[in-house]
Amino acid sequence: MQKIKMENFQYNKGKLFIEGVSLIDIIEAVGTPFYCYSAAAIKQNYKTFKRALKNLDAEIFFSLKANSNVGVLATLARLGAGADIVSAGELTRALIAGFPPNKIVFSGVGKSRDELSQALSVGIKQFNVESESEMDLLSEIAKRRQIRAPVSIRVNPNVDARTHSKITTGTNENKFGVTMDDAKRLYAKGSKMNGVDTVGVAVHIGSQLTQLAPYRRAYKKISELVTFLKNEGYKVEGIDLGGGLGISYLDEIPPTPCEYGLMVEDVVGDLGCSIGFEPGRVIVGNAGLLVSQVIYVKEGNYRPFLIVDAAMNDLLRPALYDAYHEILPIKEAGLNISSVRYDVVGPICETSDTFGIDRTLPKMEEGDFIAFSNAGAYGAVMASTYNSRPLIPEVIVDGARFAIVAQKVCIEEFIKREKLPPWLEMQDEDMEANPG
């Protein structure tokens, strides 16, 4: 029997189920490929993370960049979560999903004037400011409206998160935040500005962290900064510790939320500040699958290729980060079915459109279905229409019921935004008027 690391996803009578629904039933309803999320897993992960912070004055702001589907967001909003956003588009999604504006935190290194204005208009909880220029612009906009923008200064603690280089955000080489010295200077400056209200400091050192040590080093620096600011007479109401806690894709053993919470309590629990957290992957990562169908089984020089109908435009992580996703057959292999080592690839004209090399699976036939596990985070949100491929459906399951929470976006729909330039339209008219 295939052993699955993801709770709420199990085989039942030879078929892979998500909660109480057979994936075969969803395939028959929506076709492939598609993303499928477990509401039970999302809720369970959120509640586990919240329990881990029970001894702290804590607020949880789900990171929309991990998964911004409105159905997923609404599930979390109804549990009392807040939202961590990085764009005006994510702000719109957060509001539609039901997050109150006073539970929305705006992060990101490149907020535009329009984005700052829009967030000010709805009255979000705070802006995690990442540069002096951003704070100056925000103050200017707020003063014109005769309001004060709540600001937390994001610090770059120069701590290596020991994760993939493309998702590390807390070292001197990274674009995020400001140095400790600049944070002290900007906090002092902000406290005298008419358009901003400095309320705290923020930090985020990366994603998919599997050790507590980098967190501890970064949070110790934050503790020292907060103590300095308070000793200088500045108010520091809250600290935002970011997110980044990892999950197990292959054989990683990341800290549990409980272990993480105890570490936070030990390092910053005595500062007298409220503490914000921005989890994303740890809430939704293991709550989703990408389901796909085998188009062809093609013989190769080393191993046969499984060519599937999902592609790197649907799930970019393997191509972008060399990320590992376990591959599961939708129909459980019987005792007499042999195993075969495959290279699992998509149909896009890029060698990087590869999901797995030398993967052992039951012998597969054309038309069989597979699923990529732990695809609930940084999956659909990173999808594109590369090769003019459609954006695929997203489905959420709750017990014995399921609903399509994102429709397939076909070529006819997304090509509507394109048009011929006027001079080519004129050429077409001339050709029609003077055929031959």
Helices (DSSP H) in 37-195: which residue ranges?
A: 39-52, 70-77, 88-97, 113-122, 132-144, 180-190
Greatest C-alpha distance within the chain: 85
Q: Which tokens go with 231?
A: 């000793």
3 state DSSP class of 326: coil
Q: How many residues does the chain have?
A: 436
> Are residues 197 and 152 in contact, defined by beta-carbon separation less than 8 angstroms?
no
Which DSSP category does 209 fall into?
B
* 349 counts as catalytic: yes
Count the alpha carbons within 13 Å of 111 in the hemisphere toward its beta carbon.
32
- Whether omega for the bond prior to residue 150 falls within 30 degrees of 0, making it cis, is no
3 state DSSP class of 288: strand
Query: Residue 88 CB: number of other CB atoms within 10 A?
Result: 17
Which DSSP category does 18 fall into?
E
Sole residue written with tokens 């590992």: 324
> Are residues 16 and 328 in contact, defined by beta-carbon separation less than 8 angstroms?
yes
Catalytic residue among 36, 258, 273, 349: 349
Count the alpha carbons within 13 Å of 269 in the hemisphere toward its beta carbon.
12
Residues catalogued as catalytic: 349
